[in-house]
Copies of this chain bind each other. A is one copy, B any other.
Amino acid sequence: MKELIIGIDLGGTSVKMSLVKASGKIIKKWSIVTNIKNEGASIIPDIIQSIRDQLRGMSLTNSDLIGIGMGSPGAIDRNQKTVSGAYNLNWVEKQEIGKAFNDAFAVPFYIENDANLAALGEKWQGSGNDLANVVFITLGTGVGGGIIINNHLITGSHGCAGEIGHLYVTDNPIYQCTCGNTGCLEAVASANGMLLLTQELSKNHIQESAIKQAVLEGKILSVKEIFDAAKEKDSFAMSAVTTFASYIGKACSHITNILDPDKIIIGGGIASAGTELLEAIFDSYDQHVFPKARDKDILTLAKLAKLGNDAGILGAAYLVLSSQKG
C-alpha cells in the first residue's frame, strides 16, 4: 500500500532526507553531504542514489511511495520542476530536477523553495495544528513568509506571495531595505535591521542605559544581547524591543485584515526570544487588527525547530500530500 513519502531538504552544506508516513510520522531520517564540486553536478545523482540505498535497506520499492517532495534554494519552476540560480550549490545552468527524479523513481515528484516548505511543515506538524489557513513568518538574516490557504501554498502571480519582509511598516526614510524600497519590515526586523533600528533609536533615548551607551560608542551588539538586556530591564533595550515588535505586529495586522488566517506562526532565529517577544508583538497587533478578528490565539511561535524536528523535510512530505489533494 502506498503510504510513504520521501521528504528532501536540499541545503548548501547537507541534504536532509526522511521517510514520512501520510500521518506525519517520521519513519527514518538521514542526511548526506552536498557536493558542490563540478558545478554541483553530482548533487542530484547523490540524492537519488542515497534514496535508492535507503529504500533497498528497508526492503521498500517505488510502489510503497505516494511521492517525493523536495525543497531547494534558488528560483523554482513548479510546473517544469526545474531550479535556476541556486548559487550556493554552484549550479550555473538550469537543473532539470523533475526529469531526473521521474526517470529514477516513476512516482509523483514536487519541488518548492525551502522557505515555503518550512511553512508547510510547521502548518502540518507544528504550531499550525494542521489548520487550513496558516501564515508563517521567519525572522532571521532576512524576513520571509509562507502563505497557506485552504491547505495549499500561495505562490502568487509573480512568485512574490508571502513577501512579508517587504510590507511597508514605517515612514522613516532612514530604513533602507536591500530590495531598494524604504520602510520595509525586513529593514527594521531582520537581524541587521534590528541593529540599524537600535542605532537610530539610541539618538533619542533619554534615560540612562548601558546598552544605549554601548550603541552610541559604536559597539556592534548582537540581537541576543539586546533581547537579554531587555529581559534584565535595561530601559533602552526594552524600548528597542518594543519598537521592533511593534513593526512585526503591524505587519501581522495587515495579514489578518486581508486573510484572517487560523494562525500566524513566527519562527526563525530572532523568534527564539520567546513569549516576551510574542506578547510585545501582540500588543501592537491588537491595536491595528479589525476588532471582530481580535484573538490572542492567532499569533504563535514556531515549535518544530524547538522540538529538534525538521520543518523542511516534513514540509516536503506535506507538499506531496497537498499537491495530490488538488
Interface positions of A (Cβ within 8 A of B) = 133, 135, 145, 147, 149-150, 152, 154-164, 166-168, 171, 179-181, 183, 250, 253-262, 287-293, 295, 298
Contacts and interface: CB of A to CB of B under 8 A. Distances in A.
A258 B261 contact: no
24 contacts: A133-B157, A135-B258, A145-B258, A150-B150, A150-B152, A154-B260, A156-B260, A156-B261, A157-B261, A158-B293, A161-B260, A163-B257, A163-B258, A166-B257, A166-B288, A167-B253, A167-B257, A167-B258, A168-B250, A168-B253, A168-B254, A168-B257, A179-B290, A254-B254
A257 B161 CA distance: 6
Counting from the closest, the 7 A-B pairs by CB-CB distance are A156-B260, A160-B293, A168-B288, A160-B260, A161-B260, A163-B290, A166-B290
A164 B288 contact: no
Contacts of A250: 168
A156 B259 contact: yes
A293 B156 contact: yes
A284 B155 CA distance: 24
A257 B160 contact: yes
Given A149-B154, A152-B150, A258 B164 contact: yes
Contacts of A158: 260, 292-293, 295
- Mostly, the A contact residues are loop
A258 to B, nearest CB: 6
A210 B238 CA distance: 49
A291 B261 contact: no
A46 to B, nearest CB: 31
A204 to B, nearest CB: 16
Nearest to A294: B158
A291 B180 contact: yes
B260 A159 contact: yes
Contact of A288 (B133, B183, B261): B183
A47 B260 CA distance: 33
A159 B288 CA distance: 17
A177 B245 CA distance: 23
A76 B168 CA distance: 33
A221 to B, nearest CB: 27
Given A133-B157, A166-B288, 4 more contacts: A155-B260, A156-B293, A171-B171, A258-B259
A90 B211 CA distance: 62
